[in-house]
Every structure is written in structure tokens, then in C-alpha cells.
Structure 1
Amino acid sequence: MWRGFWTLVARAARGPRRSCTRQGSGAPVPGSGATIFALSSGQGRCGIAVIRTSGPASDHALRSLTAPRDFPPARSACLRLLSPPRSGEPLDRALVLWFPGPQSFTGEDCAEFHVHGGPAVVSGVLQALGSVPGLRPAEAGEFTRRAFANGKLSLTEVEGLADLIHAETEAQRRQALRQLDGELGHLCRAWAKTLTKLTVKCGSWSAGRGFAQERM
């Protein structure tokens, strides 16, 4: 049990892994895979549904569904008419956002489509994205997994995000938010630093004792 606990402490203490940085967009981040898309908001009817993409073809997906309008500026919401690239039949008027990597949730190029939350609209936009070359539906948790792999979230922050999503009480929400903000990670790093110092001291003491016994 303790071995597993200290392994978790060590992994959390390392914090987020550094990812490569680049300027601009359109070029794949080294090590990135296919471009993924998924409904990020809840299932069912709602006023607004959020569909997002992540990966090197996100800009192509955004252009394909919003052509012939100009490409939106980074991190600015723009109203666009969405249409499938093949038929061109209007799907919905939506707010679209462009997040070039690495300044995004996953560290990759990302796009968001804020559409009306009716099932037919959501299904139509998802099908349109699926028809864009280079895109595939995301696996469960894949956006968060990419954020972790690209150094955007640490292990404890990933757990905090999951807890925040599933929080049902105020106490759970507060605890999850503290963990997402890195409070547990800071604590684990402090523990790891203390353990490292103790290990060094114990090693020095053992070496000194062995040397003394040899002299005797």
C-alpha cells in the first residue's frame, strides 16, 4: 500500500510535463495524433451545446464548416453559419472559437462550435465533422489525456477535474477546485522534497556507519 502511495506522490511531485511550443497554427505538434472531435457539453436537449476538436486538422475542420467566411481570430467568438463541406446545406448559426496550440486546453490546435442544443443540430454538426478528412470521434477522456500528455495538466489536476465534473455538493466542489488549482500537487511536491532529503541523510548515515565498522 505504501509503495503505491509514494509512487503517486512522486508522480504528482513531477508536475505537468513540458510540451513543445510553437507559434502560429496548422502544423502538427510533434507527437500529436489524429484530430479528434466530441460533444463536450451534456447529452440531451439544451439551449447551447459545445462541440470541440483537438489536433492538427482543427483549423481545416473549422474552415470546412464555415466556408466561405473569413477564418476567426484566435480566442474570439464569431458568429458563423455552419454547413457540411459536401452538401453545403445550412446546419445552424453558431458561435465558433479558434484556440491555436499550445495556448489551448490540450496544448494542440483546438476549435469550438457553440451550437443550439437540439439533438438534430448536434447530430448534424457531429456528422459534418466526421466527414472532414483527418478527423475521428474522440475516445472517452481523450481530451484530458492529451492535456496531460502535453503538460497542460498534472496527474492531481486531472483527478481534480474529474472530481469537479462529478461534484454534487458544495464541499465536493470546493475540494475538487482546490485540487484542480494544484493544491494537492504542491503538497505532494513538498512531501517528495522532504523524502529526498531524508533519503540522502539516511544514505550518508549508512555509508558512514559501514566505513566505521570496516575500520574496527
Structure 2
Amino acid sequence: MWRGLWTLAAQAARGPRRLCTRRSSGAAAPGSGATIFALSSGQGRCGIAVIRTSGPSSGHALRILTAARDLPPARHASLRLLSDPRSGEPLDRALVLWFPGPRSFTGEDCVEFHVHGGPAVVSGVLQALGSVPGLRPAEAGEFTRRAFANGKLNLTEVEGLADLIHAETEAQRRQALRQLDGELGHLCRGWAETLTKRTLKYGHWRWPWVHIYEMPGAGRDSAQGHT
């Protein structure tokens, strides 16, 4: 574990510090010109399924599927009838939530459709979204990738989110939640700052063990055990 954490800290001190810091909100997300959509809840029959969109056409898609002139109040659930924009056929009565950027998970305009979880309903809503110009199905992990690119999550928090989704035990859940809350990122930032100061002091990169002992959280016994 310590070897991996020291590697993160060393890389952060040497070059780009995306390991422990969020990217600037001015950076463009990959494929930021497109609006993506996907089923965010699990596959299969369920009481409620959540379908999300992210991108500049999210508000337009919400208006199209609800045949509404105005968007609902931001971050408030509203009951709306969803219809297929191609045929006008009703698809479902759903709760919709509008999250204008940058106050959203990805930092972009986002919409959530909370629909009934039957396969026909989910398929119908996904097909309806796919018929809206400017929308396309999301790639695997693309919502999280956009959140990272827009400075909403740093890399250690992204890893924590993935671990939390796949956690099967209470210990895994607790550890993943701590990482998602920034505990590991905070530790790495402290180490990176210490290493950067040492680099500036000596004028070039050095890894003297005596300075490792001075880093917060790194004991002499732990360091010697991983040489």
C-alpha cells in the first residue's frame, strides 16, 4: 500500500497533479459538444429506473419529451408525462429533475428521468432520447469522465466512486466512501507538497529516505519494509 501511495505522491510532485487535484473547470470535457444519455440504475425489472442525460441539449431533450415550453424548477422533482417525440405516443408518467450546469454531477446541464422500471418503459424512453438531435448513448464511464474533466471529481475520488459502486462488504463500503470524500487525495496532496519543497530546495529531484520519514503518516518501519 505504501509503495503505491508514494508513487502517487512522487508523480504528483514531478509533473501534472491530476492524481490529487481536480482539473480546472475551464477544461473542455471529452466530447463536450455532444449530449449523452444512459440508464443509470441497474438492468432488469424494478420499481423505478433512472435515466440521465448530460450536455448542452439536456434542457431541449426534456422539453421535447414532456412537450413543455418551460423547464421545471432546478433541482426539484416534477411529475411529467413523457411522450415519444416521433409519434406523440405516451411513454410513462415520470418524475423529472433538471440540473443546470455547473451545479450538477458532471458540471454540465443534466436531466434525470425517474421512470417505472419495466423493460418496455425503459427501452421506449431511451429510444425517444436517441431520436432527439444532438443526443447519443453514453460510453461506459463517460458521465464520470466528464465530471473529472470539469473539475467535479479528482482521480482518487473517481477511484473511490468506482470502489463504492462495486463494494460488497461493509469494510469495502467504508474505505470507498472515505476515498470518495477525499481522504486519500488530501494525504497525497500533503505528500506532494512536501516532495515539491524538497525538490525546490535541492534544485533537482531526490528521494532521500530521511525526508520520507518526515512526511505525515509515513513511519520508519513502514518505509524500510518497502525498499
Q: Structure 2-normalised TM-score?
A: 0.81
Per the alignment, do residues 173 and 8 of structure 1 end up closer, same or farther by CA in structure 2, a change over 3 Å counting?
A: farther
1:194 aligned residue: 194
- Are positions 1:7 and 2:20 aligned together? no
- Are positions 1:41 and 2:41 aligned together? yes
1:19 to 9, 12, 25: 25
1:104 aligned residue: 104
Deviation at 1:201, TM superposition (A): 2.5
Deviation at 1:7, TM superposition (A): 1.9
| In 2: Cα distance, 1:67 partner to 1:86 partner | 12
The SS at the match of 1:91 is strand
Contact 2:72 2:78 in 1 (8 A): yes
Aligned residues: 198
| In 2: Cα distance, 1:188 partner to 1:30 partner | 26
1:169 aligned residue: 169
Per the alignment, do residues 19 and 11 of structure 1 end up closer, same or farther by CA in structure 2, a change over 3 Å counting?
A: closer
Counterpart residue type for residue 12 of structure 1: L
| In 2: Cα distance, 1:39 partner to 1:162 partner | 17
2:203 aligned residue: 203
| In 1: Cα distance, 2:66 partner to 2:110 partner | 15
Deviation at 1:199, TM superposition (A): 1.4
Give the percent of matched residue pairs that are identical in Structure 1 and Structure 2: 81
Once the two structures are superposed, residues 139-179 of structure 1 have per-residue CA deviations (whole angstroms, 9 ceiling, x without a partner) of: 00000000000000000000000000000000000000000
Query: Which runs of 5 or more residues in structure 1 are unaligned?
Result: 22-27, 207-216
Which residues of 2 match residues 135-154 of structure 1 at below 5 A? 135-154=135-154
Per the alignment, do residues 67 and 107 of structure 1 end up closer, same or farther by CA in structure 2, a change over 3 Å counting?
A: same
Per the alignment, do residues 161 and 91 of structure 1 end up closer, same or farther by CA in structure 2, a change over 3 Å counting?
A: same
Which residues of 2 match residues 51-70 of structure 1 at below 5 A? 51-68=51-68, 70=70
The SS at the match of 2:93 is strand
